[in-house]
Chain A
């Protein structure tokens, strides 16, 4: 499967990456080269093989249903959460207007 400029533009849009026309042109052969190379996986007989879900068998745990059981990941740390925001306002993350 070979991809064209329109496909790369669509993928870039899905990935929320703004790309210029010149970047698009350069990416098409690069991505096609990589995709042509990974397509050799199609040679492998995977009949009856399950896709990998975990490399090391491990049981998922539940944490105690307690707010702030771990102070690092609990609540009540608004200012720390906002400390690195490019536009924190009134205790919230600021974004461009989304509702007219």
Chain B
């Protein structure tokens, strides 16, 4: 039998329900993988007992002949942005270090109800702000991938869901939760050769997810293939009255609906994404993706998304503005860190607590957000950005009058080395240039591995779909997956 840790979500679910192995055996195998991978720093805390307890329940249910859930016996990693009852939830920040929620986030609760267990809480960029996992208070996550040059340069696993991407790529867990505000599922998935989907805004409840930018934040699965993402997204999605922007729609059976035959489908290729100086390997990978979708029966057409170049600057007004407002709650009074210097009054305590508790990137974004929302500047920055956001959304609406899905690269380059970008915030932000437009428009979008670049590092292709059409996105992703034949995986060095 193949090693259990090489199995994905569907294979684990089927193996456990078919009696090939028990859920406890699966949990033990992954617990051991997590325990042996501390060099990657993918987990902030491991929760082996949680995984075992869920597994025992699944095994008992199976023995009793009870119906098993969609994720029965599948142990997963949980991004440490989801509140988990009784388990420290930090958003990778010092200000929430030691915070132990009294409640469970809706998405994680749904996963436990579907029979999944938790291997641990995954590292991330602090408050999900970052593209390399270098802003975590708990240290960098190291990608399991290395360049083929024989050097051992530690590489970024992407961000903000960098613990999730590293853990799935290193086979420490078959799947993990991610959240995507401006590319935080898709960019790390592309950097590590895995698959991740951000559904339509509102599909997954935001209740119990530490807020970054509420009009953009959306949870989604990260796994090794399209089918596994479909299964896990079914378990995560669904209406929640506790989130006022939750979509009151039934959850489609995405796994059952998978179909890689794209006859009659039209795929749009946005010309504005073919930027000057586009990396040659990324351009080649995109061309291959176009050929694969044609081979799957799709018609490929050129489209224009004229406001693409303004998406990233609009995002860097809207997201910090919302973050500065959301993060006002960290005051040293109700939860988290308190820094009370001798003789300090209440205002001093707020300022000292926040200075001690937030990292440099979080402070930078709070300041930008505070500035663009301040009296006299609000219209020039924030209102203008929200108008541009409307135009970006119109661009997609116009394109989707003509095409079913859009194909583009996920990122402008493959993974970079840790430390290579940190000194230049703007260069770091540009990593999300292809991912941010779909976030601003609330559209479903996924990254699937497409191949390796000249350095032996994974490249991802991105598929963006119409609102609510996760199925169309998954199907185009499946067509690429079947043709890309991506089987590369990082050699174990950790």
Partners in one complex: yes
Interface residues of A in 67-82 (CB under 8 A from B): 70, 72-73, 77, 80-81
A38 at the interface (CB under 8 A from B): yes
In the complex, per-residue mask of B327-365: 1 if CB is within 8 Å of any chain A CB, else 0: 010011111111010001111111110110010000110
* CA distance in complex: A54, B386 (Å): 10
Whether A30 pairs with B364 at a CB distance below 8 angstroms is yes
* CA distance in complex: A73, B442 (Å): 27
CB within 8 Å of A: which residues of B? 99-103, 200-202, 215, 241-242, 244-245, 247-248, 307, 309-310, 313-314, 316-317, 324, 328, 331-338, 340, 344-352, 354-355, 358, 363-364, 366-368, 370-371, 374, 377, 380-381, 383-391, 393, 425-426, 440-442, 467
Tell me, rounded to whole Å, the shortest Cβ–Cβ distance linking B318 to chain A.
8
* CA distance in complex: A35, B374 (Å): 14
Whether B337 pairs with A27 at a CB distance below 8 angstroms is no
> Which residue from A17, A53, A60 sits with its C-beta under 8 Å from B354?
A17
Whether A50 pairs with B384 at a CB distance below 8 angstroms is no
Tell me, rounded to whole Å, the shortest Cβ–Cβ distance linking B54 to chain A.
21
- What are 15 of the A-B contact pairs (CB < 8 Å)? A7-B371, A17-B366, A18-B348, A33-B426, A34-B368, A42-B380, A44-B307, A54-B245, A55-B215, A55-B393, A56-B201, A61-B248, A80-B102, A86-B338, A97-B345
Whether B345 pairs with A11 at a CB distance below 8 angstroms is no
Asked whether A27 and B350 contact (CB < 8 A) given A41-B310, A55-B440, A85-B333, the answer is no
In the complex, per-residue mask of A4-17: 1 if CB is within 8 Å of any chain B CB, else 0: 00011001111111
A22 at the interface (CB under 8 A from B): no
* CA distance in complex: A56, B393 (Å): 10
Whether A60 pairs with B244 at a CB distance below 8 angstroms is yes
Whether B202 pairs with A34 at a CB distance below 8 angstroms is no
Asked whether A51 and B370 contact (CB < 8 A) given A38-B316, A96-B345, the answer is no
CB within 8 Å of B: which residues of A? 1, 3, 7-8, 11-19, 27, 30-31, 33-35, 37-42, 44, 46, 49-56, 58, 60-61, 63, 70, 72-73, 77, 80-81, 83-87, 93, 95-98
Asked whether A38 and B313 contact (CB < 8 A) given A61-B244, A85-B335, the answer is yes
Asked whether A27 and B367 contact (CB < 8 A) given A14-B374, A38-B313, the answer is yes
Whether A56 pairs with B442 at a CB distance below 8 angstroms is yes
6 tightest A-B contacts by CB? A55-B442, A51-B386, A86-B338, A84-B335, A18-B355, A18-B351
Whether A72 pairs with B215 at a CB distance below 8 angstroms is no
Whether B313 pairs with A37 at a CB distance below 8 angstroms is yes
CB closest chain-B residue, reference A73: B242
